[in-house]
Amino acid sequence: MERMITVLVLLILKEELSASAYPDSVRAGENITLECETSCYQPPSIVWFKDGRPISKPVFQAQAGDSGNYSCANEGQESVKSDPVTLDVQYAPLNVSIEMSRPGPLVKGSNVSLTCSDTANPAADNHTWYKALTSSVLSSMLKVGSGQVLSLPSLNATHSGLYLCRVRNSVGEGNSMGVLLMVYETDPTDSESQGD
């Protein structure tokens, strides 16, 4: 009987923690407040964790890297944490870059593909390719394709130029740096080696 009473007392005294985020889904730049409710009679000093690592403050302006699982604990009792609350930070495409399918000089008649990559939440749903018509990139751009990959088969001199990719999702858009393509009549490395 004594053992049962002791167990009941321990169950009653067991502290419960509950973490919440307001709001739990935001766009980058918006404010987030983390709250920790506890069953303690005396309000404890609370510490916060993101994906298991301590963080400094429960109110902050959300950035792209703030998505994750947040939990709270009483200071000094970090081994007993609340169940995590998941925070989803949505942001426009970042780190937009272009990768070429082949290195080295591009020769007339050959093929090349350009792949546009980025990080975004939610995932990008629109990729548009542009080619600069003048030396000033932003002054005059011609749309030359859509989709994550731009394939340029059977290259000729008209394909030479500066290409960039614009990526869009429901939050916003981002642009890559320009990538310069130069199409040669013959492989310039061959003529260099023959001249040696």
| pLDDT classification of 122: cutoffs 50, 70, 90 | very high
**E strand segments, the chain:** 17-22, 25-27, 31-38, 46-50, 53-55, 59-61, 68-74, 85-100, 106-107, 112-121, 126-132, 141-146, 149-152, 161-168, 173-175, 179-181, 183-184
Fold annotation for 92-189 = Immunoglobulin-like (2.60.40)
Alpha-carbon torsion (50, 52, 53, 57), positive or negative: positive
What is the share, in percent, of the chain residues with pLDDT greater than 90? 59
Identify whether the C-beta of residue 59 lies closer than 8 Å to the C-beta of residue 32: yes
76-79's contacts with Cβ under 8 Å and 24+ in sequence apart are: 76/45, 78/47, 78/49, 78/54
Per-residue pLDDT of 12-61, as tens digits, reads 445 688 999 888 889 999 998 889 988 876 667 899 999 999 998 777 88
Per-residue pLDDT of 54-105, as tens digits, reads 998 777 888 988 999 999 999 888 888 999 999 999 999 999 999 999 887 8
* Range in 53-62, 104-113, 122-131, 153-162 the model is least confident about: 53-62
The pLDDT mean for the chain works out to 85
Residue 9: the pLDDT is 40
Question: How far apart are alpha carbons 126 and 183 in whole angstroms?
Answer: 28
Q: Where in the chain is the domain with CATH 2.60.40.10?
A: 16-83, 92-189
In this structure, whether the domain defined by 16-83 belongs to CATH 2.30.42.10 is answered with no
| pLDDT classification of 108: cutoffs 50, 70, 90 | very high
Residue 14: the pLDDT is 58
Question: How far apart are alpha carbons 21 and 149 in whole angstroms?
Answer: 38
What type of residue is 90? Q
